Amino acid sequence: MTVLVVGSLALDSVQTPFGQVDDVLGGAASYFSLAASTFTDVQLVGVIGADFPEQHLDLLGTRPIDLNGLQRIPNGKTFRWAGRYDYDLNVAHTLDTQLNVFAEFDPQLPDEYRSSEYVYLANILPSLQLNVLSQIRAPKFVGLDSMNFWIGNPDTKKDLTRVIERVTAVFMNDAEIRQYTGTYHLLQAARQILSIGPRVVLIKKGEHGAMAVSREGVFVIAAYPLEEVKDPTGAGDSFAGGVMGHLAETGDISWDGIRRAMAYGSVVASFTVEDFSVRRLVSLTRSELRDRLALLRQVTEFQTDLLPAS
C-alpha cells in the first residue's frame, strides 16, 4: 500500500559542530517521504513557493514519491528554517523561522489520495490536521506528530486533542509527551494518551532511541550507535517515515508488526543523521537497511537463561 504524508517542505540552513549548510532541502514531509520511499510508494501533500529549486523536486522524483499533492504558490516564498546544534545534538536552537507560504497552507487532497489507508500527519496546525483527516475515506493506520508550540497554547491544544482522539499512533518526543500530559513519567504519560483513543504512543528519544506503549505492551528500540553524527535534523520524521513505510508495505499493523517497523524506523533515522539534509536518505538502499538492522540486533541482543536458581 501507499502511504500519504501531509506536512512541511522547507529550505533549511543548519550549523552543527561538524559543518554548515544553507537553503538545503528540509521539512518534515521531505524527510518522511524519502525515508518511507525505501519501503513503499508515497503521496506527498505540501506547499512550496516559486523559489523552491527544481533540483529538490528532481531529487524527490528519483524515488517513488508522487508529487500531485504538492501546491506551488507562484508569488510565494518557501518555508525557511535556520537552526544551530552544539555538541549536545539532542537540542536544536532555532535561529530563524520564516513560515512564508506555509502560513497559508490549507491542505487539499487530490481525489485519488482520499482512499489512502496509511496516513501520516506531520507537525502542522492541529486544525489543519483535522481537515486532512476529514478528507480521508477509510483510514486504516493514521500517525500523528505535533510540537511544543501547539501544546503550549490552550486553543491549539484543544484541537490537538481532537486529532489525537482520532488517530492510531501518536509520534512525539519525550518532552512533548510530558508537556501534553503534564506527567513526567513516560509510561504513565503514554497511558494517559492511550486513554483518549490511540492504539499506540511512540516516544522519540533522540540518541537514546524510541519507546512504544500500547495496551499490548511496551517496546524499547535503541538508536544504532554511530561512529559519527553530522546533523540530527529530520531524525524524528525519518523514524516515522521508516515506521509508516514499513507498516504500509507489509500491511501488518499488529503489535509485532509495529515493533518490527520501529526497528526499521530507528535504522532509517540512523542513516539520516550521518549527513546533512536528506543526502544520506536519497542514496539509501534496502540492502543497507537490512545490514544495519542485523547489526542493531547484534548490538542489543543478550542471553537470558543462564542464571541458576540458587
By the criterion CB under 8 A, which residues form the site for a copy of itself? 17, 39, 87-88, 184-188, 205, 208-209, 211, 217-222, 225-229, 246, 250, 256, 259-260, 262-264, 286-287, 289-290, 293-294, 297-304, 306-310
What gap in Å lies between CA 244 and CA 233, rounded to an integer?
19
Cell numbers describing residue 246: 514499513
Cα separation of 268 and 224, whole Å?
A: 10
Q: With beta carbons less than 8 A apart as the criterion, state whether 29 and 44 touch.
A: yes
Least Cα distance to 266 among 210, 228, 213 occurs for: 210
Minimum separation from the CB atom of position 93 to a copy of itself (A) = 16
Minimum distance between the CB of residue 189 and a copy of itself, rounded to whole angstroms? 11
Which is nearer to a copy of itself, 58 or 228 (by Cβ)? 228
Provide CB contacts within 8 A for 7, sequence distance 6+.
Answer: 27, 28, 29, 32, 45, 46, 120, 121, 122, 123, 124, 145, 237
* Smallest distance, a copy of itself to C-beta of residue 238, A: 16
Minimum CB distance to a copy of itself smaller for 125 or for 267: 267
Give 154 or 217: the residue with its C-beta nearer to a copy of itself: 217
Can you read off the three cell numbers belonging to residue 110? 487530490
CB of 231 to a copy of itself, least distance (A): 14
Q: Which is nearer to a copy of itself, 8 or 181 (CB)?
A: 181
Nearer to a copy of itself (CB atom), residue 148 or residue 188:
188
All three cell numbers of 169 = 499512533
Q: Please name every residue paired with 169 in a beta bridge, in sequence order, or none if there are none.
A: 143, 200
Rg (CA), the chain: 19
**Shortest distance (Å) from residue 35 CB to a copy of itself:** 14
DSSP character at residue 233: T
Looking at beta carbons only, is 55 or 303 nearer to a copy of itself? 303
Do residues 12 and 25 touch, judged by C-beta distance below 8 A?
A: yes
- Smallest gap from residue 172 Cβ to a copy of itself (A): 17
